Structure 1
Amino acid sequence: MNQALSDFFNKINEIFDVIRIVSDYIWAFPTQYTWYASIPIIGELAMPIVILFGVGIYFTIRTKFIALLSFKRSVGIILSKQPSKTGVSALSAFMLGLAMRIGPGNIVGVTGAIAVGGPGALFWMWVAAFFGMTTAFMEAVLAQIFKEKKNEEFVGGLPFYGKRLLGNMRWVGVCLSVAFIIYALFNIPAQTFNVFSAIDQITKNTTGVTYEKQSFFSYSVALILILSSAILIFGGIRRVIKYVNILVPFKATLFFIVSIYLVITNITLIPYFFEVVIKEAFSPSAIFGGSVGVAIAQGVKRGLMSNEAGQGTITMAAAIADNRHPCEQGFVQSFGVFVDTMVICTLTGFIVIFAHLWETPDATYWDAIKDQRIEMYLESVKALTSEHLEHFIKILIAVCYGLFAFTTLLGMISFAEISANYISKKDSFILFIRILGACVFVPFGVITVLADLRLSNLWNITDLTNLMMVYLNIPILLLGAPLVYQALKHYLENEKNKQLQFDSDNVLGVKTEYWTSIPKN
């Protein structure tokens, strides 16, 4: 890549260095202050963690542990027949939600949480996920209540319910829609980097060759990634859903099979796994800082950032589903949190903790590898498998990692499109959003890889946009919570007699575009 292009990207890095400073400050606030940091355990938890965790606990208590009901109801709802030809099925909405939830963070994020917070971080990840299931239920129900029709499809999510709950002012919805579009688009370059990282691992373990960034092979990968993204995105939400319905089960099943194989072949380590996870959750070793607060902070942060409960970022998938009752999609998306964290993230935790690389005799080895997330995970895989299967297993893991990134990329652009419908449902505007995602931000991410620049400062904006979504969504969830409680009461009172006909005007005292005008049985 020529010097002019390198200088251009370096200049971008300098510009976004300011964002890194802001992002780091907000993510750590108020742990920087002595008065707060001196509080035992709590003093090590940043405000975003306290808010997400606290709200999850509050909603769980107020709904009388509704997450426990998700296990029983969600599978039946997911497999049920679609009520009409409008919108997408509960299964498709579930898969689209998982496309966003199950991403590279399920591997590198969990690995990083354990590297910093110790095995105990996984325990707190489980705790956060349980309470996060209720938060996901709340935001999904609101997304359903205030969804709107667009031809034979539904649109909705945070901008739509935010506008209705905040005085029904259009500018509120526009601001929320713009915020989400910014969040989604600026997450795309990181996913393109992850796709390339996965392909690098595949080629390295199949051929033993590491291709240069400025090579015919790398350019070919770049072209295929851009074209495939564009073909799927310009086909609209239904085309994306069609392929997501194939890719999500495939990537999840493949990762599950490979992980279970590694667990079974090292089954004698299971007692060690549970012993060290529980022990380190309440009494972390010195190598991880010896602090319970750090273990909690890493576990809660990674758990909630992975399953995205409370950010409002999965509400677009919840809104486009065709359900008999708003609460049905709440159960579905709540179950999505369980699959993401309690299943996929836990499988990653098994591998990393089984390998316990921090206990190697060479202390310098751990210091050298603990900040290299994907490398640490692959080294853990290597430690748990036989030499003749090592490369094959690594290839399968790399395929999963690449698919995690690619489906997340598709989800980001698709959700940005759904959100953009609040600003305008005109085809020309939606086309503009598709062009931004598939023809601007995907190629931009590709170019940064080919330029061999990680743009770490640019990627810090993703952390900032994550926080932006949390701080925008949580107050709105609290404001809309009474409506969810009423909808849930109606559902529980009528599910046995299967009289789930929901009229928002009668049940909630609120007129909505869809649930007020649906035909009566």
Structure 2
Amino acid sequence: MEAIEQFLVDFSNLAWGMPLLVLLMGGGFYFMIYSGFLPFRHLKHAIDVLRGKYDDPDDPGDINHFEALSSALAATVGMGNISGVAVAIAMGGPGVLFWMWVSAFVGMATKFFTCSLSVMYRGRDSNGHLEGGPMYVVVEGLGSKWKPLAVFFAVAGLFGTLPIFQANQLTQVIREVVLVPNGFSSGDAFYSNLGIGLTLVLIVSMVIFGGIQRIGNVASKMVPGMVVLYMLAVFYIMAVNYTAIPDAFALILTDAFTAESVLGGAVGAIIIAGARRAAFSNEAGIGTASMMHGAAKTDEPIREGLVAMLGPLIDTIIVCTLTGLAIIMTGVWQSSDGNGVTMTAAAFNEAMPGFGSYVLVLCVLIFAFTSLFSYSYYGTKCFGFLFGARYKHYYNYFYVATIVFGATATMSAIISLIDGMYAMMAIPTMVSALLLSPKVMAAARNYFRRMKNVKRPI
């Protein structure tokens, strides 16, 4: 078992080398400069689209713009924001948060391009249903000779979108914050984790076997509330520790370049750590969100790209920053032996003694379940692309079975597997987006020219 864990760790570290960092962050900078900051200049229009001002129920697709963003956020605003940030700070110190900001900023431009393409080059599955995502962008946009790249993405997506990290961290926080302190789980941890895992399987199955419409409906109701609840909790922590706010930001900025952390002063390593956790958090350039946004009811690709770019802003620049500040201001990143969700729980309990950890448990429950619901959609799309749409529902059985594995395995093995597969998924997503970026810009110029000349929604 230790040999497998070490293999996964080595695989992840190798995958997240400098070439991938250049592809993701360098590609994001290219999109930002090439577009002339176009998506950022139309932020108000993006919000109008999200509000439903341009919705047409007769447009092709399965879910509206708001449901598409909510479902994508249900996957990204999850354990990556609570546990992922804590893991990053434990590995790279407070400075890693700065590089998460940089990754998210360029990730907004990346999301604009990749998700515009997911609608622009939608294809049809073997049942004739309209589908979007990097595998269809590759085949429809670059041509059938590029299909091996699409297959490569879909294979990596089968494993990269598994719910094992969410199940692992949700199990950990339930066991260590709720059960053990109250004397309900003093025996073998494996069996209590197994019991939690089986319960998660039952709850998740009730939603995901209902398909994308049920997932979108559930996500659109849960996501706004979960973000507001979590923000209010961290704002309270900031209010209690308001004198530490300037020092926290100063520490983030100085540590980002001096890298006086557990990485031994390696600035390059701290940048990679930030990019890895940002990618895990907001998935910009990975391709998962493109699959969700590709299901939006619209025949205007640029509209969906504008909506999608709001994801990294909400997910990383806002929610991840709040988590990072809570951990840094309370000092638990230095005093706590915990990693992942237990470190964040320690920060909440430090600011809200006696009940802070329970507030986090409530947030974690909502965050984790929405992620567990949404990730299944990504895997079924990859499975359907590889083996045929009529068989894609079989993936959900594999998906829920791995929840038990996630609940009982070590966090190191799990996060290494997901990180490694995310790296593999990023290659087809970014390569196809870079090659097809002139198509996006041509469509964007055409779209905004029409919007300028038409006074009513088109």
Under a length normalisation based on structure 2, what TM-score does the superposition of the two structures give?
A: 0.89
Does residue 494 in structure 1 map to residue 456 in structure 2?
no
Contact 1:93-1:321 at 8 Å conserved across structures: yes
Say whether the 8 Å CA contact 1:420–1:430 is kept in structure 2: yes
Whether contact under 8 Å (2:93, 2:261) holds in the other structure is: no
> 1:206–1:395: 8 Å Cα contact kept in structure 2?
no
SS in 1 for 2:170: helix
The yes-or-no answer on 1:374 pairing with 2:341 is yes
Q: Output one character per residue of 1:289-322: Cα deviation in whole Å (capped at 9) or x when no partner.
A: 3444344333233223311111112111110001
- Number of the residue aligned with 2:430: 474
- Mapped pair 1:178 → 2:155: yes
Determine the structure 2 residue equivalent to 1:401: 364
Q: Distance in 1 between matches of 2:406 and 2:89?
A: 28
In structure 1, stretches of 5+ residues that fail to align are 1-9, 30-45, 360-364, 502-520
For the Cα contact (< 8 Å) 2:86–2:339, is it kept in 1? Answer: no
Distance in 2, Cα, partners of 1:109 & 1:288: 17
- The 5 Å alignment of 1:58-77 reads 58-69=30-41, 71-77=43-49
Counterpart for residue 38 of structure 1: none
Cα distance, 1:179 vs. partner?
Answer: 3.0
Change (3 A) 1:288 1:419: closer
CA apart distance, 1:456: 4.0
Distance 2:80 2:302 in 1: 28
Contact 2:406 2:414 survives alignment (8 Å): no
Q: Structure 2: how far apart are the matches of 1:165 and 1:348?
A: 39
Determine the structure 2 residue equivalent to 1:411. Answer: 374
1:116–1:183 CA distance, 2 compared to 1 (3 A): closer
- What are the Cα deviations for residues 423-453 of structure 1, in whole angstroms up to 9, with x where unaligned? 46643x1222222223x3234434xx2xxx4
Q: How does 1:191-230 map to 2 (within 5 A)?
A: 191-204=166-179, 207=182, 209-213=184-188, 221-230=196-205
Choose which of 141, 144, 151 in structure 2 pairs with 1:168.
Answer: 144
* Structure 1 residue 457 displacement after superposition: 3.7
1:26 aligned partner: 15
Aligned residue number for residue 518 of structure 1: none
Query: Are residues 1:465 and 2:421 paired?
Result: yes
Check the 8 A contact 1:491/1:500 in 2, yes or no: no
Q: Name the larger-Rg structure.
A: 1
- Return the structure number with greater relative CO, CA threshold 8 A, min gap 6: 2
CA contact (8 A) 1:188 1:445 kept: yes
Quote how far apart the aligned CAs of 1:497 are: 2.9
Change (3 A) 1:354 1:232: same
CA distance in 1 between counterparts of 2:167 and 2:182 reads: 22
1:83 aligns with 2:56: yes
| Partners of 1:211 and 1:218 within 8 A in 2 | no
Deviation at 1:419, TM superposition (A): 3.3
Shift of 1:16: 5.8
Query: Which residue number corresponds to residue 437 of structure 1?
Result: 399
CA contact (8 A) 1:132 1:310 kept: yes
Cα pair 2:69 2:307 within 8 Å, conserved: yes
2:75 corresponds to which of 100, 113, 123: 100
Correspondence for 1:383: 350
Distance 1:72 1:261 in 2: 29
Say if 1:249 and 1:489 are closer, same or farther in 2 by CA, change over 3 A: same
Equivalent position of 2:112 in the other structure: 137
Report deviation, 1:96.
0.7
Structure 1 position 52 matched with structure 2 position 13: no
Return the offset for 1:249: 2.0
Structure 2 CA distance for partners of 1:130 and 1:175, relative to 1, 3 Å: closer
User: What does 1:279-294 align with in structure 2 at a 5 Å threshold?
Assistant: 279-285=254-260, 289-294=264-269
One-letter amino acid of the counterpart of residue 80, structure 1: G
CA–CA distance in 2 between the matches of 1:153 and 1:430?
Answer: 13
Separation (CA, whole Å) in 2 of partners of 1:191 and 1:237:
20
Alignment partner of 1:158 is 2:134: yes
Identity of aligned residues (%): 27
Task: Count how many residue pairs are aligned between Structure 1 and Structure 2.
Answer: 453
Structure 1 contact 316–415 (Cα < 8 Å) conserved:
yes
Q: Deviations over 1:350-392 (max 9, x none)?
A: 1112123466xxxxx56xx2x623332222233333xxxx232
Contact 1:120–1:278 at 8 Å: present in 2 too? yes
Q: Would you say the 8 A contact 1:199–1:398 is kept in 2?
A: yes
Cα deviations across residues 139-172 of structure 1 (Å, max 9, x unaligned)? 0000010124679974210111111233234843
2:333–2:343 Cα contact (<8 Å) kept = no
Query: 1:340: which partner in 2?
Result: 315
Instruction: Provide, for residues 23-52 of structure 1, a one-character-per-residue CA deviation record: whole Å limited to 9, x for no partner.
Output: 33333x4xxxxxxxxxxxxxxxx3222221
Structure 2 contact 5–412 (Cα < 8 Å) conserved: no
2:438 partner amino acid: P
CA distance 1:327–1:398, change in 2 (3 Å): same
CA distance in 2, matches of 1:455, 1:271: 33
CA root-mean-square deviation? 2.9
Gap change, CA 1:62 and 1:463, over 3 Å in 2: same
* Aligned pairs for 1:244-323 within 5 A: 244-285=219-260, 289-323=264-298
CA distance in 2, matches of 1:215, 1:443: 11
For 1:464 and 1:297, the matched residues in 2 are separated by 13
How far apart, CA to CA, are the structure 1 residues paired with 2:444 and 2:377? 29
What does the per-residue CA deviation read over 1:98-122, in whole Å, with 9 as the maximum and x for residues that have no partner? 0111121212221232233332222
Aligned equivalent of 2:410: 454
Write out per-residue CA displacement over residues 437-475 of structure 1, whole angstroms, 9 at most, x where no aligned residue.
23x3234434xx2xxx42744653222211111122211
- SS of the aligned residue for 1:300 comes to helix
For normalisation by structure 1, the TM-score amounts to 0.79
Classify the secondary structure of the residue corresponding to 1:235. coil
Q: Tell me the SS of whatever aligns to 2:143.
A: coil
Distance 1:156 1:500, change over 3 A: farther
